[in-house]
Amino acid sequence: METITRDQILEALAQDRFLLFGQPKWTLGKNTCNTYEVFIDLMIAEDQRQVPAQAFIPVIEADEELTMRFGAWFLEKAFTSGARLMKDLGMDLNISINILGFQANRPEFVERVVELIARSGIRHDHVQFELSEAQPLDATGIANLCRLHDEYNIKLVLGNFGTGYSTVDLLRHVPFDMLELSKAFTAEITESERALKVTLAVLQMAQVLDITVCAKGIESAEQLELLEEAGFYKAQGYLIGRPMPLDELAAFVRKYAA
């Protein structure tokens, strides 16, 4: 797979050539969808080729300055597109927005987020920030997330738990509302008893901490049934809905919202 350069990413940002996608998060037990995750899934190259996220996201994650520039662009687009989607649907949704540690670590992060939310008109309690596993949090980042949670009622999600910087240690310092179990955990639960036991152990730990759990990477009805019986709260994966343009997501939500 080709790797996109830093200069190509900056040029694409300047020309608005990144495409936002949304993926539904399914509420188990109710079989409804009132939450979606928004992220960048494609970049349009100069020759109009569609470049997948795997080719440019690692470049962004490895560069603090690039993270800040891309993250600022993405946050604004996520809020404005979310407000437009909710207006078109005539209903409130929970929007889960991916953030990186380098963003959260900046002293001005809270004020910038509050400004963007106010401008969009989205209610604070409908915003979830999903912390990526790709970058570490420092003391300022931890304080910023705690402030967003405690003062502004913004929900916090620990993304792809068990990979990268997404570790148990963070649970001691940050009041996460939800933990996302990565596909690495859920992929083998129907074939490996040990994989299932580890997955259930993570769920039990989260329940003790009053944290709900979303299982990612669900691709079969058997996986979904196992997780629902175990007590998982949310699920996400191709079985439920692939990442899709926001107009397609609107049609999905109209069908399954409650």
For residues 189-217, b (16+ Cβ closer than 10 Å) or e, as one string? beeeeebbebbbebbeebeeeebbbbbbb
- pLDDT of residue 180 exceeding 90, the answer is yes
* Confidence class for position 141, pLDDT limits 50, 70, 90: very high
Enter the pTM of the model: 0.95
Cα–Cα dist 87/208, whole Å? 37
- pLDDT of residue 25 exceeding 70, the answer is yes
- pLDDT of residue 173 exceeding 90, the answer is yes
Residues 248, 78, 142: CA angle, nearest 5 degrees: 135
Cα–Cα dist 30/35, whole Å? 13
The residue written with tokens 């690495």 in the block is: 184
Which whole number is the average pLDDT over 105-126? 98
pLDDT tens by residue, 201-257:
999 999 999 999 999 999 999 999 999 999 999 999 999 999 999 999 999 999 998
Domains of the chain: 6-256 (3.20.20.450)
Q: Tell me whether residue 131 is exposed, middle or buried, using C-beta atoms within 10 angstroms of its C-beta: 0 to 12, 13 to 18, 19 or more.
A: buried
Which whole number is the average pLDDT over 37-51? 91
Report residue 176 as tokens: 């996460």
- pLDDT of residue 258 exceeding 80, the answer is no
* Confidence class for position 1, pLDDT limits 50, 70, 90: low
Cα–Cα dist 79/27, whole Å? 22
Q: Which residues are CB-neighbours of 12 under 8 A, at least 6 positions away? A: 18, 43, 44, 45
